[in-house]
Structure 1
């Protein structure tokens, strides 16, 4: 098998399994479990200096590729055989934008909200009320308004360009398959649906349900193991 996926449970590497299943190529999964603190295990440092997942190893050339966006691009360029690229050349810019927006703009805010939610339980009980107040203020003044703006923007684009979430972010490839934008955006939108964004627009829910209904996504989920967002 040419591709080895270094797969961490409950992580962004699930999107790589989805892509590989859509491609229909053979691959091997090496499973890694999070530590008791919820972090990646030190064994991943032996694969790549970032010590994070997803990571892939291409056994054809010995290359290790890190970062979700870079992995998605690499696999599509080297193994896509012309698929998973927008058939409408006018939508290529959309593909590039959403590919970067997913990790550059949306995920950092979602992760920040998750991290802040974990702070009060770690504090001594007698100062926990203060921690709760701080977290509440950060959420109400910064994180929640920012996530509301971003989710409204995403939903508006899904409505205007993607049939209310029933079509792909960049229009899909010549066979109607998703493109890089979709493999990147699915994970943060799943995270958004886990409760980190209240009153999530319907178009986002429709889009995530469309992803989850893909046979390739279901196969990747089965092979990857339990995954809290799906």
Structure 2
């Protein structure tokens, strides 16, 4: 595991409730960056792509990720990231006297899920509508419905959001300064998944800073450790 600031503290008991094809992978990555020991309880989506009912055992909404730490149950990715960094990894947030980057960090913790992710979910819904297994004579109708959602509304808003993120990386390697922070952890999912979800306009030529950032985080040892661990978990699902 990566070097940790938590190693000198009393080791907490940490269990991550993980779901395939979800945003939970970011929490695995953060736990590796922090060097915390943790258990992964992994679940697989049902045939309809919904989370299994078993997740409601851990939280009434039945979503993932959920983090159980020392008997306390934490839900919502932004809250989990903020809690873990505040408690175990203050080096993963800008100092408060670095006002510009600190405020940017706090803003992005909310922005990732509050502003960007809803459009990503809409893009996913549009792609599912367009690719729905319907009779061939219905296909033009579902295609038009998806296009009417995407072209005037979803795509322009996604372009604005990714343009915004691209500009944030114009003069610095990470989203909140010169060091990795929780903002980068949270934004990893919507940026990495964009190419497969939003279409060909999200490419290296248009967004060189975002692609360089992605290449950089994928080289981090903790990032690689997180994916290695989950590969083993998924093999047993």
TM over 0.5: yes
Mapped to 1, the partners of 2:59 and 2:127 lie a distance apart of 29
Q: State the number of aligned residues.
A: 215
Deviation at residue 10 of structure 1 after TM alignment: 1.6
Task: Give 1:63's aligned residue.
Answer: 72
Classify 1:199/1:119 alpha carbon distance in 2 versus 1 (closer, same or farther; 3 Å): closer
Task: Give 1:107's aligned residue.
Answer: 117
Q: Secondary structure at the match of 1:217?
A: helix
Task: Give 2:48's aligned residue.
Answer: 37
Deviation at residue 28 of structure 1 after TM alignment: 0.8
Mapped to 2, the partners of 1:197 and 1:207 lie a distance apart of 20
Mapped to 1, the partners of 2:52 and 2:231 lie a distance apart of 17
Mapped to 2, the partners of 1:179 and 1:94 lie a distance apart of 11
Unaligned runs of 5+ in 2: 1-11
Mapped to 2, the partners of 1:77 and 1:195 lie a distance apart of 32
Match of 1:181 among 170, 180, 183: 183
Task: Give 1:221's aligned residue.
Answer: 227
Mapped to 2, the partners of 1:17 and 1:221 lie a distance apart of 8
Task: Give 1:76's aligned residue.
Answer: 85
Deviation at residue 204 of structure 1 after TM alignment: 1.1
- Higher RCO (CA < 8 A, seq sep 6+): 1
Mapped to 1, the partners of 2:133 and 2:94 lie a distance apart of 46
Q: Secondary structure at the match of 2:149?
A: helix
In the superposition, the TM-score normalised over structure 1's length comes to 0.87
RMSD: 1.7
Alignment deviations for residues 26-77 of structure 1 (CA, whole Å, 9 cap, x no partner): 111111111111111111000001100000101x2x1100000010011112
Unaligned runs of 5+ in 1: none
In the superposition, the TM-score normalised over structure 2's length comes to 0.85
Deviation at residue 144 of structure 1 after TM alignment: 1.1
Mapped to 1, the partners of 2:169 and 2:100 lie a distance apart of 16
Mapped to 1, the partners of 2:114 and 2:163 lie a distance apart of 17
Q: Secondary structure at the match of 1:225?
A: helix
Alignment deviations for residues 136-168 of structure 1 (CA, whole Å, 9 cap, x no partner): 122111111111111111111211x42xxxx11
- After the TM superposition, which parts of structure 1 deviate over 4 Å for at least 4 consecutive aligned residues? none
Mapped to 1, the partners of 2:88 and 2:54 lie a distance apart of 27
Mapped to 1, the partners of 2:79 and 2:200 lie a distance apart of 31
Q: Secondary structure at the match of 1:56?
A: strand
Correspondence list, 1:124-143, <5 A: 124-143=135-154
Mapped to 2, the partners of 1:208 and 1:195 lie a distance apart of 16
Correspondence list, 1:13-52, <5 A: 13-52=24-63
